[in-house]
Amino acid sequence: MTVADLVLEHAARAPERLALIGPDEEVTYGELARRITSRHAPPVITARDPVLALTLALAADLAGNVPLICDPAAARLVTPEWTLSGPGWASFTSGSTGRPRAVLRSRESWRESFPHLNALAGMSEDDVVLVPGSLVSSLYGFAAVHALGIGATAIVPGRWSLEHLGRASVVHLVPHQLPQVLPKPPPLRVAVVGGAALEPALRAQAEGLRVVSYYGATELSFVAADPDGRGLRAFPGTEIEVREGVVWVRSPWVAKGYLGPAAGPLRRDAAGWASVGDLAGPYAPGGVLRVRGRGDGAIQTGGATVVPEDVEAVLRRVPGVLDAVVVGSPHPELGAVVTAVVEGDGVRRAALEAAARDGLDPVQRPRRWYAAGSLPRNATGKPARALVAEGLTGFRRLV
């Protein structure tokens, strides 16, 4: 059964129930079913309107294709060797060497995880779920499809917006956004928080709001969840091991791999375990997982993950750039913004931005630019990323 089939079932039972609230229209399940069954949808979906994007994604799913919602600027980078046929769902994560990387999951791994998330968060078809972010992000894309899959109403502004927060009973967001929904309006009862670790102090601020946090990755999907503040424990159906400080997972939710020839951090072993290199403290089965961070220093920005090495590889191609380091700078709404420090004399920001536009997905492009006569380096001669992040005020800002 496809996710689209679930939507059609909801439409048959309750055609007048509201399915989608978008920037320009509200669509019932009956109308959504009519659109899904009457549209021919290409697998690569570039519609800017989130209601249309979801409609096309479900139409592609119903037709047996793999829907991939992507930014129009990234669509031109999707090449013919990307296989987008056969059942499944695809979502973007950061690209390698400047190209977008799409992760393929089976439709079963999406659909069959729905009841587990429902149980953890206490969600049902009676809920109105605010999804305040771009559907290109795997976190927000899944949140919207999950809401439709269970027969709830999804509010999809397609960007960060709390315009309809007063209508929502559930909000799906990333940690740095949680304070912005407080104090909670009366209908809001649950916040599902993913994308990065949730600090206990932040959870404590959400008085009167049920907070369900989870840890995972686009390639691994759900790994562990904390529905009650007692710490991250294995998501239902998931086995966890920490080997030499690195998280390994075995579950039905793990992705099949990457579309096309893209390489990424996903690794597998012969026993069916998978890892993306995330770090954690010692772990005992059934216990609390204490995630220490991304092993590759990835940047979490607005619910998306950006791998610094991918951006650096593109910037190093710019004439005059001797080396480059990419870090995350704190941002009040996005959590972090991609920030680049380039080593070299006479490098112009215009040239760097042109290279970023040509070689990077929009979410990967640096928003802040600095130049350094020489980068701080460690004993092996490699740029010291942590020192760069700490010393941004000492570099020259490129304007």
pTM, full prediction: 0.80
Task: Render each residue's pLDDT in the chain as its tens digit; 399 residues.
Answer: 999 999 999 999 999 999 999 999 999 999 999 999 998 888 789 999 999 999 999 999 999 989 999 887 667 667 665 655 567 999 887 533 335 578 999 999 999 999 999 999 999 999 999 999 999 888 999 999 999 999 999 999 999 899 999 999 999 998 878 989 999 999 999 999 997 668 788 899 898 999 999 999 989 999 999 999 999 999 999 999 999 989 999 999 999 998 876 778 899 999 999 999 988 889 999 999 998 766 667 788 888 878 787 899 899 999 999 999 999 999 988 889 999 999 998 899 999 999 999 999 999 999 999 999 999 986 445 688 888 998 898 999 998
Q: What domains does the chain contain, in order, with CATH numbers?
A: 3-293 (3.40.50.12780), 307-397 (3.30.300.30)
- Kindly provide the b/e burial profile for residues 205-221, where b requires at least 16 CB atoms within 10 angstroms of the residue's own CB: ebeebbbbbbbbbbbbb
Region of residue 284 (phi > 0: left; psi between -120 and 50: alpha; otherwise: beta):
beta
- 146 close to 114: Cβ distance less than 8 angstroms: yes
For 343, list phi and psi in degrees, rounded to 5. Answer: -105, 125
